[in-house]
Structure 1
Amino acid sequence: MSPMKLCVPGERLCSTEDCIPGNGTYLRHGSIFASLAGYVLRKNEGEELPVISVVRETEAQLLPDVGAIVTCKVTSINPRFAKVHILYVGSTPLKDRFRGTIRREDVRATEKDKVETYKSFRPGDIVLAKVISLGDVQSNYLLTTAENELGVVVAHSEAGAQMVPISWCEMQCPRTHAKEFRKVARVQPEYLQA
């Protein structure tokens, strides 16, 4: 990620010939100015010219933190862990891709030695997890689903239908009625993303 340019309110960003004004900007005499302090973002959104906008530091630099509840998508599994992409921190979508790992011993709180990764997650599952350790450039964030409220929230069956939880460890396909093992989250309403 390239370092983003900081700006202050009233700073001239560019001409209207170069960009279309977006959030956090205003027009004056054929130029686009910053209306707030923050980072300058240029995005091509299908128009001929890129859209220029200004976002506050918190929006630009949101990172998963220890103890944060994150929503992630399972990308691969093996007997020792599940690899995930972190999509949200709380209810805020992340602009950057962060990778996470849910180790076998962090899947649930009890009978950790009996956990089988493939009976807990499948690639494509959407999982609610908690950050237990920060990653660095080389490694992933370590995540846990050991609490009852954490685990798989959305899963699709072999038939492609969204499955319905029937217990803390099973989901069922409404189309074929086939049951599949998962570490199912007992979802609290405040964690649900519309």
Structure 2
Amino acid sequence: MGASTVCPGDRLFQAADYAAGSGTYVKGDHIYSSLVGTTRVFDSSLTAQDKRPVVEVLRSGSRAKVPEAGNIVIAKVNKVNPRLASASLLCVNTQPLNDKFSGIIRQQDVRATEIDKVELYSCFRPGDLVRAEVISLGDSRSYYLSTAKNDLGVVYAKSLSGVPMIPLSWQEMQCPETKVVEKRKVAKVN
């Protein structure tokens, strides 16, 4: 089901197959709309324990979500150089973004300790998905992001052979096929 206009009380999906997001409620075995707006379904599996897709209803004319200082975001790393990693923000607090936002993870914002020893290419690679905290608005083009807490860092990465890697420690991930170990700043899984 793509985005469609719904009214309060409209039945949307089976509650067993989808999780209820904002603008919805569960009654019996179904999820219903609680307001007039458009439906949106998104995958919450990267950040939530519940792996079901989330359905929500956005009020017509409602403001799009904008990252703010203190928000936890999921970002895709685009480029890495010795001083910073640039990324595209995908989600804010498990809610997908409608608009494009950029973020920068500076060398001093990667870890809380031994900041001067951080090598960014040993922490992130292009294509990695990173859980980070927005620390400030940054410059006119990008938000400043931090991965200095234990639960922040790489949450998904592919090996050179294109296989999703598994975390070994807070600073290493391994390809399950080739057994090659690559360095990353890994987010601690709760």
TM-score (norm 1): 0.68
Q: Alpha-carbon deviations, 1:109-159, whole Å to 9, x = none?
A: 1100000000000000000000000146x3200000000000000000001
Q: Residues 71 and 160 (structure 1 numbering): CA distance in 2 closer, same or farther, change over 3 Å?
A: same
Q: In structure 1, how many angstroms separate the alpha carbons of the residues matched to 2:166 and 2:147? A: 19
Instruction: Please tell me whether Structure 1 or Structure 2 has the larger radius of gyration of its CA atoms.
Output: 1
Q: Residues 59 and 74 (structure 1 numbering): CA distance in 2 closer, same or farther, change over 3 Å?
A: farther
Q: Structure 1 residue 185 and structure 2 residue 167: aligned?
A: no
Q: Residues 102 and 176 (structure 1 numbering): CA distance in 2 closer, same or farther, change over 3 Å?
A: same
Shift of 1:37: 7.0
Give SS of 1:160's match. coil
Give SS of 2:116's match. helix
The within-5 A match list for 1:59-78 is 60-78=63-81
Shift of 1:25: 6.0
Q: Alpha-carbon deviations, 1:37-66, whole Å to 9, x = none?
A: 77x9xxxxxxxxxxxxx9427953211110
Match of 2:151 among 136, 143, 149: 149
Q: In structure 1, how many angstroms separate the alpha carbons of the residues matched to 2:62 and 2:171? A: 36
Residue 83 of structure 1 aligns with an amino acid whose one-letter code is: S
Q: Which runs of 5+ in 1 are unaligned?
A: 1-20, 27-34, 41-53, 189-194
Residue 111 of structure 1 aligns with an amino acid whose one-letter code is: E
Q: Which residue of 2 aligns with 1:84?
A: 87
Q: In structure 1, how many angstroms separate the alpha carbons of the residues matched to 2:133 and 2:186? A: 14
The within-5 A match list for 1:166-181 is 166-181=168-183
CA contact (8 A) 2:174 2:182 kept: yes
TM-score (norm 2): 0.70
Q: Which residue of 2 aligns with 1:140?
A: 142
Residue 4 of structure 2 aligns with an amino acid whose one-letter code is: G
Percent identity between the two aligned chains: 52
CA contact (8 A) 1:150 1:187 kept: no
CA contact (8 A) 1:24 1:55 kept: no
Residue 170 of structure 1 aligns with an amino acid whose one-letter code is: E
Q: In structure 2, how many angstroms separate the alpha carbons of the residues matched to 1:178 and 1:60? A: 45
How well do the aligned residues superpose, as a CA RMSD in angstroms?
2.6
Q: In structure 1, how many angstroms separate the alpha carbons of the residues matched to 2:61 and 2:185? A: 33
Q: Which residue of 2 aligns with 1:50?
A: none
Match of 1:103 among 103, 106, 110: 106
Give SS of 2:144's match. strand
CA contact (8 A) 1:130 1:144 kept: yes
